[in-house]
Chains A and B, each alone.
Chain A
Amino acid sequence: MKQIFAIILLLIMGWFLLGLVPLGQPTEPGVVAQHYISQGVQENRGANLVTSVIVNYRGFDTLGEVTVLFLSVAGAGFVLRRREGIERRVNRPSSEILQTGARMLFAPIVIFGAYIFVHGHLSPGGGFQGGAVVASAVMLLLLADRGHHLPHGFMHWLESMVGFTYVMVGLAGLVIAGSFLSNQGVLPLGTWNRLFSGGVIPIIYTLVGLKVGTELSSLLDTMIDTGRPDHADNSEGGTS
């Protein structure tokens, strides 16, 4: 009975969704998007317009978004905090191939992630993507070495400092150019399509990359930690 209701509901919803969507004809950019397209490069000297929109025009929203990500990670950490009720799995140490591979691949993956977030204003990618790549390297490390613990103190310190610096860069824009997170006059804009260009955009995106990387890493650590046996009987786990 309930399933029939669900199917009817979905059919109605699908009908309205199909009616909402302009099938066939591509949409044209609106007024604001036209401004971004025609003036974006002159105003920011960043080649990647999506980055310009996220970090500069809507930089305030990105600050909020990083906060939302932090809140969800903090919420997950809070929910998973107490461990006495969690079923303990008996972990075998991970295989030799995984351990060797993780040791070999960890540094290149982190460097690749850093490359992605440093070049966010030039090519596809940016802080969020690069941060996710860095977190994937940390996940490989955690899977390979079950006894490994992330340095929580350092991670929290880095995350807080990065968030603090983001707000400070925004306040510098407020003092110098009169609007929060402004890009005009805070740093020289540089030449278009060079690594050192775009004013504060690469700096903010690097900060976002570090913040997303540390947040997702601590999230993975929390989630893996809950399925881990007690550290006392984990003598085989830490092999490296």
Chain B
Amino acid sequence: MNALTPATLYLVTAILLILIGLAGALVRRNLLKMVLGFALVDTGIHLLIAALGSNPNKSAPILNKESLLGDPSLILDPVPQALVLTAIVIGIGVTALMLAYVIRLFAMRQSLDIRDFGRLKW
């Protein structure tokens, strides 16, 4: 592995977050903790995409100075940032929907344990 640059650190952290979140969703039995695991996967993916487009030598894609207008090589790639912005919003929506399901399931059985909802399991 190369020297530990910030970008490498972001990428490794992002992958760790994804794995921790997946582990939470797979191993935990509490529905709320599973939702939390999915939210962690979400965050990890956002960090991964943003880190892929990061470069410490370039400026953020906001061209509000004259000096930034001339030279395209000074500017970061705006596409990963736009993708992450989209993904964050969708992530909020999905998490909210999952939490709504959890609330309903709790109202049904007074339990948050996934083993109490095994009727559709085969």
Interface residues of A (CB under 8 A from B): 2-3, 6-7, 9-10, 13-14, 17-18, 21-30, 32-34, 36-38, 40-41, 47-50, 52-54, 58, 61-62, 65, 68-69, 71-73, 75-76, 79-80, 85-87, 122-124, 126, 128, 132, 192-193, 212, 216, 219, 222-223, 226
Contacts and interface: CB of A to CB of B under 8 A. Distances in A.
B11 interface: yes
A24 B99 contact: no
Interface in B93-110: 93-94, 96-97, 99-101, 103-104, 106-108, 110
A192 B99 CA distance: 43
Given A14-B19, A40-B78, A76-B96, 19 more contacts: A10-B23, A17-B19, A23-B8, A29-B77, A32-B79, A34-B72, A36-B78, A37-B72, A37-B78, A40-B63, A47-B64, A48-B62, A48-B63, A49-B62, A72-B94, A85-B108, A128-B89, A192-B63, A223-B96
A61 B89 CA distance: 13
Main secondary structure of the interface of B (DSSP, over half): helix
Nearest to A39: B72
Contact of B3 (A24, A33, A58, A126): A24
A22 B23 CA distance: 24
A197 to B, nearest CB: 11
Interface in B1-29: 1-3, 5, 7-8, 11-12, 15, 18-19, 22-23, 26-27
